[in-house]
Amino acid sequence: MILIVDSGSTKSDWIAVDSEGNQLLEKIRTKGLNPAILPEKKIKKIIKSNSLLKEHKKSVTHIFFYGAGCGTVKPVALLKDVLQGIFVNAHIEINEDTMAAIYSTINHDKEAAVVCILGTGSNCSYYDGEQLDQRVVSLGYSIMDDASGNYFGRQLIRDYYFNQMPEDVKIAFGSKFNMESDYIKYNLYKQPNPNAYLASFAEFMFLHKDSEYTINLIKEGIRLFATNMIMQFKEELKTAPVHFAGSIAYFSQEEIKSVAQEMGFTVGNFARRPIEGLVDYHTKNL
């Protein structure tokens, strides 16, 4: 049994297939397993609490894990130790989530492309058909992650408190979420995964895209992301398309295409959930 995992900070999607790519179990979803944020004990608890994973752990021969927070040595080592301790018979490979985005959006194995992730967090890389080039080291959600779910959640909360929302939007926002200051501060400063908490507000934008305020908010975030991240690859953009993965990107396609036209880059493919593309890639490359 092969387990392929696409993990963000909010959620992790698991799919179990055989060597031919046939799905063996129903799709599994757990909480996010970001080893740069979560302690070892918490990661173990999340995995072990899933009954399907617990039942089939000895049958797993390979795990291909792609995750947020898997771009540096220490978090990867921590996660690998946890997985190896649970799935004792498995060969385990861990890659950062960028590689999942690449494999699920490129049109063929050797395609050169700029590949972006806009989900709970955000990043951008250039893939030349063989090697990954990241020109900006992420410093995490509190400083970077433009146009991500947590970025938009932060902007929405700020606009609510600074009275920068139109009145009808503010009423709708306040009725959907608990906007008491103590509750917000508790979730931001006393609870784990504040980035995921912030990202939970982003859905509101896509339910209220009839508002000029919302459209402008989305475009402003994408312009910031494009300026700081995509435009790091000005030379490559002359010939390479820009692919996007993640739910924020998927639901912002119109706004991304509009900003791309303004800034002069070519939009390629969108993948809401990269995991489907990973099955085909790994069964071909076992």
Convert the pLDDT of each residue in 7-19 to its tens digit: 987 889 999 999 8
Q: How far apart are CA 72 and CA 36, in angstroms?
A: 9
How many domains, in total, are found in the chain? Answer: 1
Q: pTM here?
A: 0.80
Residue 249 lies in a domain: no
In tens, the pLDDT along 154-202 reads 999 999 999 999 999 999 999 999 999 999 999 999 998 899 899 999 9
Averaged pLDDT, 143-163? 97
Q: Categorize the per-residue pLDDT at 212 as very low, low, confident or very high, splitting at 50, 70 and 90.
A: very high
> pLDDT grade, residue 55 (50/70/90)?
very high
pLDDT of residue 39: 93
Helix (H) or strand (E) holding 124: strand 122-127
Tell me which residue of 86, 97, 116, 136 sits closest to 10, measured CA to CA: 97
Cβ count near 187 (within 10 Å): 17
Res 118: pLDDT:
95
Query: What CATH number does the domain containing 77 carry?
Result: 3.30.420.40
In-domain check, residue 49: yes
CB atoms within 10 A of CB 219: 18
On whether residue 41 sits in a domain, the answer given is yes
pLDDT greater at residue 77 or residue 140: 77
| Within-domain flag for 43 | yes
Using the CB atoms, write b or e for 16-40: b if 16+ within 10 Å. Answer: bbeeeeeeeeeebebbbbbbbbbee
Q: Is the pLDDT of residue 208 over 90?
A: yes
Residue 46 lies in a domain: yes
Match 């709970």 to its residue by tokens: 120
Q: Which residue has the tokens 């944020």?
A: 37
User: Does residue 75 or residue 278 have the better pLDDT?
Assistant: 75
Q: Give yes or no for residue 284 having a pLDDT over 80.
A: no
- Give the pLDDT confidence score for residue 73 in this predicted structure: 92
CA distance 99 to 28: 21
Mean pLDDT, range 142-154, rounded to an integer: 95
Within the chain, strands assigned E span 2-7, 11-17, 28-31, 62-67, 91-96, 113-118, 122-127, 132-133, 242-245, 267-271
**Is 197 among the domain residues?**
no
Question: What residues form DSSP beta bridges with 2?
Answer: 17, 62
Is residue 253 scored above 80 in pLDDT? Answer: yes
Residue 273 above 90 pLDDT? Answer: no
Kindly state whether residue 193 falls inside one of the protein's structural domains.
Answer: no
pLDDT surpassing 90 at residue 71: no
The Cα 150–Cα 199 span in angstroms is 4
Question: Does residue 43 have a pLDDT over 80?
Answer: yes
Q: Give dist(CA 261, CA 244) in Å, integer.
A: 15
Q: Give the C-alpha separation, 204 to 149, whole Å.
A: 11
| Confidence band for 98, pLDDT divided at 50, 70 and 90 | confident
pLDDT of residue 87 exceeding 80: yes
Tell me what pLDDT residue 279 has.
Answer: 82
The domain in which residue 81 lies consists of 2-100+275-284
Task: For the sheet with 11-17, list strands across it.
Answer: 28-31, 11-17, 2-7, 62-67, 91-96
Q: Is the pLDDT of residue 281 over 80?
A: no
pLDDT, position 286:
65
82 within some domain = yes
Q: Does residue 283 register a pLDDT over 80?
A: no
